[in-house]
């Protein structure tokens, strides 16, 4: 069952890349006490994710923060090293925190997985965005398969 607005994010362990290497973070601790714009991509370095999704959040970071977002985070079923390299390539290291969901535990626990085996990608996270306020899903935007609209930074800004 897909997570709904008003529900608390499930407890999982994510990994973020730091200057000292990968660091495990518990979702309950990471999202506690702040408002986070979280977006999910099927994979780092994939065409739509690299050309539109990540750049949109980098470009709109100041506007999102001006509307009350404390932090912008991206998750993908990739490892922290891949997400760290993607953040550098996408010039996102100062504006977007990468949260690796390498085993897909977060997206699976939220009911937001997609089957990418036909593309050689295995199980991945769907393309979505959400506003998480103190660990609770305040807004949720899940894309239809093959689309990129409601999970964009622009759509999130319109709905804040």
pLDDT tens sequence across 123-157: 879 999 999 999 999 999 999 988 999 999 999 99
User: Taking residues 117-125, what's their average pLDDT?
Assistant: 78
Give the model's pLDDT for residue 122.
Answer: 67
Close Cβ partners of 67 (under 8 Å, ≥ 6 residues apart)? 157, 160
Tell me phi and psi for residue 137, to 5 degrees.
-70, 115
The average confidence (pLDDT) of the chain is: 94
Residue 74 among the catalytic residues? no
Which region among 3-12, 17-26, 71-80 has the lowest average model confidence (pLDDT)? 17-26
The Cα angle at residue 73 between residues 9 and 93, in degrees rounded to 5: 155
Four-residue CA torsion sign, 85, 150, 103, 18? positive
- Residue of 139, 102, 127, 134 lying closest to 46 (CA atoms): 127
Catalytic residue among 3, 14, 36, 49: 49
Domain boundaries, the chain: 13-158
Tell me phi and psi for residue 130, to 5 degrees.
-155, 155
Q: Which CATH architecture has domain 13-158?
A: 3-Layer(aba) Sandwich (3.40)
- pLDDT tier at 30, thresholds 50, 70, 90: very high
- pLDDT tier at 22, thresholds 50, 70, 90: very high
The length of the chain is: 160
List b or e across 4-42, with b for residues whose CB sees 16 or more CB atoms inside 10 angstroms: eeeeebeebbbbbbeeeeeeebebeebbeeebbbbbbbb
Residue 77: its H or E element: none
Q: Model pTM?
A: 0.94
């Amino acid at each position: 069952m897909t997570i709904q607005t008003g529900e608390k994010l499930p407890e999982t362990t994510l990994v973020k890349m730091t200057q000292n290497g990968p660091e495990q973070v518990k979702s309950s601790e990471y999202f506690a006490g702040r408002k986070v714009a979280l977006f999910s991509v099927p994979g780092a370095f994939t065409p739509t994710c690299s050309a539109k999704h990540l750049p949109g959040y980098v470009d709109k970071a100041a506007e999102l923060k001006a509307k009350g977002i404390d932090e912008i985070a991206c998750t993908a079923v990739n490892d922290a090293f891949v997400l760290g390299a993607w953040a550098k390539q996408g010039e996102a290291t100062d504006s977007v925190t990468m949260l690796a969901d390498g085993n897909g535990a977060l997206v699976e626990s939220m009911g937001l997985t997609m089957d990418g085996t036909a593309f050689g990608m295995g199980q991945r996270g769907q393309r979505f965005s959400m506003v998480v306020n103190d660990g609770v899903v305040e807004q949720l935007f899940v894309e239809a398969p093959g689309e990129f609209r409601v999970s964009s930074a622009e759509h999130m800004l319109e709905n804040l």
